[in-house]
């Protein structure tokens, strides 16, 4: 292990270098997937909360349908279908981002909808309507900036959730595929050598644990900082 601070994996590759590269992959997947999730959830939630009635009913029923499906089994099925139809043994980075982003938006949509139901009745929203502002301007110029606090907090928490999802997919063989390193597939590859090289599994697991804890604490801190009732 001379010259390798954290040792090597089963193929003699430096574990620290692969952990750093895996961090880039896992965090990039999380950031892009959460960005897509936040955009979709914010738009649908804002439209549902602002207009209400039939539009709200339709969007919320769609949200209920997606929420009623266990997300991990759904991800496994969708990734398997995409892999089979594309005639590829491994899914690429963009496919994973798209799948996670498209199935993770309902929680954001419900939070934004609940916020908009309250904000649309405020005096400044009524004043904006009285001045003849179009709906899109009221939504994006007057209401959305006042709904950013819960959206930002939810985004930080969703980054942690997506890291766990991506790691789980990669661990089960449906995510980022070797030789590209991610924390999930590093854990999967370390299973066969747990008795003789436990560090190959311990360090990726610690990276996932510490990263998720740090992001969750960040989300809690942002919630307290942005909540006007805490000031």
pLDDT per residue as tens digits for the range 204-215: 888 888 888 888
Q: Tokens in use for 164?
A: 């766990």
Cβ neighbour number for residue 229 with a 10 Å cutoff: 5
Number of Cβ within 10 Å of residue 166's Cβ equals 27
Q: Which residues of the chain have pLDDT under 70?
A: 1-12, 82-92, 177-178, 195, 226-231
Question: Exposed, middle or buried: residue 191 (CB in 10 Å: 0-12, 13-18, 19+)?
Answer: exposed
Distance CA 45, CA 116 (A): 8
Residues 67, 89: Cα–Cα separation, whole Å: 29
Chain centre distance of CA 162: 4
- What is the chain's Cα-based Rg? 21
Q: What DSSP designation does 176 have?
A: S
Q: What pLDDT, on a 0 to 100 scale, did the predictor assign at position 90?
A: 46
CA pair distance 46, 114, nearest whole angstrom: 9
Is the CB of residue 166 less than 8 Å from the CB of residue 96?
A: yes
Which pLDDT does position 89 carry in this prediction? 42
In terms of pTM, does the model score above 0.85? no
What pLDDT is recorded for position 39?
92
Which pairs from 141-149 meet CB under 8 Å and 24+ separation? Answer: 143/46, 143/50, 143/116, 143/119, 144/42, 144/46, 146/115, 146/119, 147/46, 147/112, 147/115, 147/116, 147/119, 149/222, 149/223, 149/226, 149/227
Domains and CATH numbers, the chain: 15-230 (1.10.3720.10)
- The pLDDT of residue 92 is 62
């Amino acid at each position: 292990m001379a010259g390798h601070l954290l040792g090597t994996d089963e193929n003699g590759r430096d574990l620290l270098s692969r952990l750093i590269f895996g961090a880039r992959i896992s965090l990039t997947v999380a950031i892009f997937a959460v960005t897509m999730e936040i955009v979709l959830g914010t738009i649908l939630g804002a439209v549902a909360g602002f207009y209400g009635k039939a539009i709200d009913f339709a969007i919320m029923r769609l949200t209920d349908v997606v929420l009623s499906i266990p997300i991990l089994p759904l991800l496994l099925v969708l990734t398997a279908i995409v892999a089979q139809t594309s005639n590829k043994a491994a899914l690429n980075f963009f496919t994973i981002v798209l799948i996670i982003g498209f199935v993770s938006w309902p929680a954001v949509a419900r939070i934004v909808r609940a916020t908009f139901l309250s904000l649309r009745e405020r005096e400044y929203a009524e004043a904006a309507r009285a001045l003849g502002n179009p709906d899109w301007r009221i939504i994006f110029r007057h209401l959305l900036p006042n709904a950013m606090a819960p959206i930002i907090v939810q985004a930080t928490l969703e980054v942690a959730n997506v890291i766990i999802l991506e790691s789980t997919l990669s661990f089960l063989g449906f995510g980022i595929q070797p030789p590209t390193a991610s924390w999930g597939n590093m854990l999967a590859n370390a299973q066969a050598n747990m008795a003789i090289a436990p560090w190959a599994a311990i360090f990726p697991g610690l990276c996932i644990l510490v990263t998720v804890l740090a992001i969750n604490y960040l989300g809690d801190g942002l919630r307290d900082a942005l909540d006007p009732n805490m000031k």
